[in-house]
A and B are shown apart, each in its own frame.
Chain A
């Protein structure tokens, strides 16, 4: 029953590693992430496993704390975009009529503005704190989730069992959470993994551009920004966060694939 394929095991291992190090950052990190403890851009050594950054802080410690921020912001924003996006989409489909029309067109309107530019504009007028950042990212990303959830639930909404529930006199919330949600879960779970990764990239981009996580806190995007001049001199410090993002992205997707194949078929996944 619970034979986990190798790819999913790899995914689980690395994702687990990242999340654990994020949660236990204060115990794991060898140094204070904001203390200057050496020369700038020191190479990899036994004291500093990943070397030091542009002003001589321990890069590994900064990566661990940065990962904590990145993962927390991305996860929180994903939760917001998913809960709001799917609830709105399912309600729009079940209620139908002008509610669906107004919501869908409004979402189309937001989507017509490039997300990054929209985020930059909003974040340059409001004070950038972590909660504001999460909210802005979550709300902007909600549009994508809404579109997917709507497309999936439109098909489910015309099934006879949903009609049977409506004829029984069930309330909208019952239909949304009991009839539609369980049947829409597989594509949504796969999308969840993907959206989380997009959130990681999004917050990293914003931080790189200076409108994300503000110093002295740092996330992976911020670390790239601090160390980007080093690339000219062949210093790998700016590449390390990039590798971290790539590994996290791939491992989360491996898990999403596995979950998808397990839940997609009612008769059990073909590989599971």
Chain B
């Protein structure tokens, strides 16, 4: 084993938590994990939030984030036990032998300094090479990563390049000191799907060309399958399965891995058209005050009772603006909205209580969609009280019914949102929307912030509730796997325009327009060699470039 670069043995990581009303206590979040990374190989760490994957990744830097402590085990990098490094040695080690690429490049770059100064900083601080040589290295890396105008891009400030480009700049930053190991912590998660593919390809090529080893941390198995040699599946701080990419993707042996692999394969049967139109959006154009251009351009869609219309697009495509227009938060300057057979007033103030009741909304971030100072009972009970005047025992009975519908028990009634998990919070938001007995619920990226398995449960719940309550969904999302799992009809949006609209069977099948083709082909698929295949036959540059 001469070429072993990283050797982690029995790694244990603990943290101190502060439960409400109790003494602080120490808990263990990683319970003895072993793995090795060979020189020039890529190990993918995969798991849901709370699985400990980032924490384990950072341990190879001998670093614990946010009060986390490495409590046991050994971490060898290049044959040295790095957990026992002190002060200056540790500083030399970090940023030279091991470097780190974080999820949000926008938050990681110093906005006041030029990109070049930040990319070369590790080299010059560690006296690895002269400033000129570091800059030459950076330019080579910029070229390798496919950044436009590699000679001069370093003279820009971080806000002057796009999100996808900045993420590649950070990869250059990590590779510049010529480290032995790079930790990629969800480097493409915050990017649009068509941008993600470019960054992914760039990272993969850079890893191959420089011969660096890498730890690739992500929750998206399809993504990690494209760049890794081996994959380690983690759950609750324990290793579930370890193997080659081929093994994990094609013949997973553990049930948990099997669930992860099959999570995106749900397909919802399209419902037949009924002609019973609930929502008719006609020729809507809208702009935000202060902007000189329309954010929505002449958008018209229809939605039938008990059906789901998915609005798909990247960030900036105007899909959330469409939701704001329909809810009345942003009055459009042309066009009209018909809802339940009547024309809705353009702004919120002009709508009747009945209009408001029949049109409910569920948000992406359940955390901030619920008042943290109200109990679950109050949150779900308020619409009952407000729209139907329910009080006392009657209200309590209905709240319990609703909690049953979202598969949560009566015991949650006096709990606060902070005591709930992400999936439970989103369920409560669904119950709050249902409490109003609406005809239409607008779901704005409701599963985007959730782990894949939890998101799948939420989608199932939504579909079930649709059957029971005959409610329509306007489902806004950027994720095409979600669309396949829930939609009856689809509207594809690009730069404020509707580029493709119709029943699901029609929209997702050829012939495609260029943008839909790009969007569909950019969704990572869980198979080996997918990335190369896609890049080979692309018709259109992604919007992030």
Interface members, chain A 134-173 (any B CB < 8 Å): 159-161, 163-164, 166-170
Which of A19-27, A84-92, A263-271 lies at the interface? A263-271
- Give complex CA distance A266, B371 in Å: 12
Task: Please determine whether B369 and A160 come into contact, CB atoms closer than 8 angstroms.
Answer: yes
Residues of B within 8 A of A1 (CB): 21
Task: Please determine whether A266 and B329 come into contact, CB atoms closer than 8 angstroms.
Answer: no
Task: Please determine whether B369 and A169 come into contact, CB atoms closer than 8 angstroms.
Answer: no
Residues of B within 8 A of A265 (CB): 18
Q: B537 near A: Cβ within 8 Å?
A: no
The CB with the most chain A CB atoms within 10 A, among B353, B368, B372, B386, is that of B368
Residues of A within 8 A of B22 (CB): 268
Task: Please determine whether B386 and A169 come into contact, CB atoms closer than 8 angstroms.
Answer: yes
Q: B53 near A: Cβ within 8 Å?
A: no
Q: A183 near B: Cβ within 8 Å?
A: yes
Residues of A within 8 A of B365 (CB): 160
Interface members, chain B 170-204 (any A CB < 8 Å): none
- Give complex CA distance A179, B356 in Å: 19
Of all chain A residues, which has the CB nearest B369? Answer: A160
The CB with the most chain B CB atoms within 10 A, among A1, A167, A170, A266, is that of A167
Interface string of B451-483 (1 = CB under 8 A from A): 000000000000000000000000000000000
Of all chain A residues, which has the CB nearest B356? Answer: A169
**B interface secondary structure, majority:** loop
Task: Please determine whether B416 and A266 come into contact, CB atoms closer than 8 angstroms.
Answer: yes
Q: A114 near B: Cβ within 8 Å?
A: no
Q: B245 near A: Cβ within 8 Å?
A: no
Q: A182 near B: Cβ within 8 Å?
A: yes
Q: Which of A167, A182, A268 is B373 in contact with, Cβ under 8 Å? A: A182
The CB with the most chain A CB atoms within 10 A, among B327, B357, B382, is that of B382
Interface members, chain B 396-420 (any A CB < 8 Å): 416, 418
Task: Please determine whether B21 and A168 come into contact, CB atoms closer than 8 angstroms.
Answer: no
Interface members, chain B 315-374 (any A CB < 8 Å): 327-329, 348, 351, 353, 356-357, 359-361, 363, 365, 368-374
Q: B383 near A: Cβ within 8 Å?
A: yes
- Give complex CA distance A260, B321 in Å: 38
Task: Please determine whether B418 and A183 come into contact, CB atoms closer than 8 angstroms.
Answer: no
Known: A160-B368, A183-B372. A168 touches B18 (CB 8 A): no
Task: Please determine whether A164 and B348 come into contact, CB atoms closer than 8 angstroms.
Answer: no
Interface size on B, residues (CB 8 A): 33
Q: Which of B348, B370, B416, B418 is A167 in contact with, Cβ under 8 Å? A: B348
| Min C-beta distance of B496 to chain A, whole Å | 22
Residues of A within 8 A of B327 (CB): 167
Interface size class of A (residues with CB under 8 A): 20 to 34
Residues of B within 8 A of A170 (CB): 386
- Give complex CA distance A127, B20 in Å: 53
Of all chain B residues, which has the CB nearest A179? Answer: B371
Q: B19 near A: Cβ within 8 Å?
A: yes
Of all chain A residues, which has the CB nearest B363? Answer: A160
Task: Please determine whether B368 and A268 come into contact, CB atoms closer than 8 angstroms.
Answer: no
Interface members, chain A 249-272 (any B CB < 8 Å): 265-268, 270
Interface string of A167-193 (1 = CB under 8 A from B): 111100000001100110000000000
Residues of A within 8 A of B356 (CB): 167-169
Residues of A within 8 A of B363 (CB): 160, 164
Task: Please determine whether B361 and A270 come into contact, CB atoms closer than 8 angstroms.
Answer: no
Interface members, chain A 56-73 (any B CB < 8 Å): none
Residues of A within 8 A of B360 (CB): 167
Residues of A within 8 A of B432 (CB): 164
Contacts A161-B371, A164-B369 supplied; 14 other A-B pairs, CB < 8 Å: A161-B368, A163-B329, A164-B363, A166-B348, A167-B327, A167-B361, A168-B386, A169-B351, A169-B356, A178-B374, A183-B372, A266-B373, A267-B18, A270-B24
Q: Which residues of A contact B (CB under 8 A)?
A: 1, 159-161, 163-164, 166-170, 178-179, 182-183, 265-268, 270
**27 interchain pairs, CB-CB under 8 A:** A1-B21, A159-B368, A161-B368, A161-B370, A161-B371, A164-B361, A164-B432, A166-B329, A167-B328, A167-B360, A168-B356, A168-B436, A169-B353, A169-B357, A178-B371, A182-B373, A183-B372, A266-B20, A266-B373, A266-B416, A266-B418, A267-B18, A267-B418, A268-B18, A268-B19, A268-B20, A268-B22
